[in-house]
A and B are shown apart, each in its own frame.
Chain A
Amino acid sequence: MARIIVVTSGKGGVGKTTTSAAIAMGLAKKGHKTAVIDFDVGLRNLDLIMGCERRVVYDFVNVINGEASLNQALIRDKNCNLLYILPASQTRDKDALSQEGVGKILEDLSKDFKYIVCDSPAGIEKGAHLAMYFADDAFVVTNPEVSSVRDSDRMLGILASKSRRAEQNQEPIREYLLLSRYSPDRVKLGEMLSVDDVQEILSLHLLGVIPESKSVLNASNSGIPVILDEKSDAGQAYVDIVARYLGEDKPHRFIDGKKGLFAKLFGGR
């Protein structure tokens, strides 16, 4: 039985797709067969971040409508053969998704995969709702600024009340905080909320801090998940996050901004 992870935030542009791609790749690299699904029907991006946009034939909506089988639509990643991508349809909208259809696909995938990562669209409407409805774990991606924190709080409320686990009175979704685009220098200047500030407002288990990094944009543009860029601090942050999620005890390295020897030598930011 697979573990279903939703990567969500409420607010747009905080790094949901980057995170989905990175942790899916990280889990697969650790030897777990992983599928990552783009729920952002109509505004698909995951295929670009994963560098598989030229190989999309069938998509999520085709599978829901029975126009293609799951195996036809799943794209095997070229960097890791344990990772599969189910792209969203670009020509449809969120109404093309149905709860039964999504549930059926997740059930079918669960038989074969260890982890299923659902990349949620922004907002709290149908797409985001379906992305989180079947989840076991939620990665709440938040930027250290007030509107993102508030939207995350709203999303946490929805996770706690509108998910399948909530409706069926099961053990609630496990919620994890991922603080992205974090800049310790700006926190020191008082321009950005600190980890403590965010945690005080959200009171959530911190899975990791992803520093603001040029490597994220470079990785997106080249279609290689940033976690594969082992020299970058953001890539290392995601490696740590995946390890922590799998139960390893890793210290947080990117909260106080002290540059390690590695970063000093290479001037990495």
Chain B
Amino acid sequence: MSVDSQKTPYNPLALEFKSSTFSVPVLILFSNDLAVIEQQLQAKISLAPEFFRNSPLVLDVQELNKKDLDLDIAALMEILREPGLLPVGIRGGNLKQNKKALALQIPVYSVTSSSATAEAQKRKTITPPVPEPITDPGTTILITHPVRSGQRLYASGDLVILAQVSAGAEILAEGNIHVYGTLRGRAMAGVQGNKAARIFCSDLQAELISIAGDYKISEDMQAISRNKPVQVYLQDHTIIIKDI
């Protein structure tokens, strides 16, 4: 028996990394005047001193950077710590501010929607602004043979099927779905969130129909008359089935 195994006969798990979400107050600054900030901060805190004591805080400076106002991060941190706040991060800062914050051991968070730096970079790269098309039509796929049970079709645009779709088959399209046969499988239109997408078929016996994530299952469609062409569309998150 080795010496090592005698020393550490059994190692229970000592640590583990996990991801967790916390709710942390964010302080959004509109001014870089430290005196004004200190004054207004104290006024706020005096309303509920217990609430703010030892409270973590994320500093949001993107409004400042929109106005190109510089900020003394180190001095501001002092002002925040004075009444007992614990700054745990900064977001929306420019390169210099982020560097400064990291030097003070304050983590840097990105603004998911639009960070000041990213915006500034965009402004540099995208000249002249190209008008985006209102909708990307994608590619229309035309299928002339029956779609069998277990088969799966995906169209980045519209999906047009000139035959039946069997039970157990799955047809998906980012645009509209047309089935000029009996639809018995699952049909999902607008799978990337296009709420205006529609499903058209000459006989609706589907297991499931869905538009932009809202769906109806076969059990809820029993009242639908068979052997009749219908269209399916979305209205206020409700699937509407109508004769054509």
Contact = CB atoms under 8 A, between A and B. Distances in A.
A203 B180 CA distance: 14
Contacts of B164: 203
Interface stretch (B68-76, B100-108, B132-140, B165-173): B165-173
B60 to A, nearest CB: 53
Interface stretch (A87-95, A152-160, A190-198): A152-160
Contacts of A156: 146, 148
Contact of B149 (A157, A172, A203): A157
Interface in B39-64: none
Pick from B148, B168, B184 the residue with the most CB of A within 10 Å. B148
Contacts of B163: 203
A204 to B, nearest CB: 9
Contacts of B31: none
Contacts, number: 38
Nearest to A155: B148
B168 A154 contact: yes
Main secondary structure of the interface of B (DSSP, over half): loop
Nearest to B181: A203
B150 interface: yes
Contacts of B168: 150, 153-154
B149 A150 contact: yes
Could you tell me the dominant secondary structure of chain A's interface residues?
helix
A172 B145 CA distance: 11
Interface residues of B, number: 15
B169 A157 contact: yes
Most buried by B among A153, A156, A202, A203: A153
B151 interface: yes
A201 B184 CA distance: 9
Contacts of A202: 166
Interface residues of A, number: 13
Nearest to A157: B148
A145 to B, nearest CB: 14
A154 B146 contact: no
Interface in A138-178: 150, 153-154, 156-158, 160-161, 172
A153 B167 contact: yes
A105 B151 CA distance: 30
Nearest to B146: A203
Interface centre among B147, B149, B184, by most chain A C-beta atoms within 10 angstroms, is B149
A130 to B, nearest CB: 18
A160 B166 contact: no
Contact of A160 (B145, B167, B182): B145
Interface string A28-64: 0000000000000000000000000000000000000
Given A150-B167, A150-B168, A153-B168, A161 B146 contact: no
A202 B182 CA distance: 11
Interface in A190-225: 200-203
B81 to A, nearest CB: 66
A123 B95 CA distance: 62
A150 B167 CA distance: 8
Contact of B148 (A154, A172, A200): A154
Nearest to B167: A150
Nearest to B184: A201
A172 B146 CA distance: 13
A90 B164 CA distance: 40
Nearest to B150: A154
A28 B145 CA distance: 33
B51 to A, nearest CB: 62
B242 to A, nearest CB: 25
A153 B149 contact: yes
Closest 4 pairs between A and B when the two form their complex, measured CB to CB: A157-B148, A153-B149, A154-B149, A157-B151
Interface of B: 145-151, 163-164, 166-169, 182, 184
Given A150-B167, A201-B184, 4 more contacts: A150-B149, A154-B148, A160-B145, A203-B164
Interface of A: 150, 153-154, 156-158, 160-161, 172, 200-203
9 contacts: A153-B149, A153-B168, A154-B148, A154-B168, A158-B148, A158-B150, A160-B151, A200-B182, A201-B184
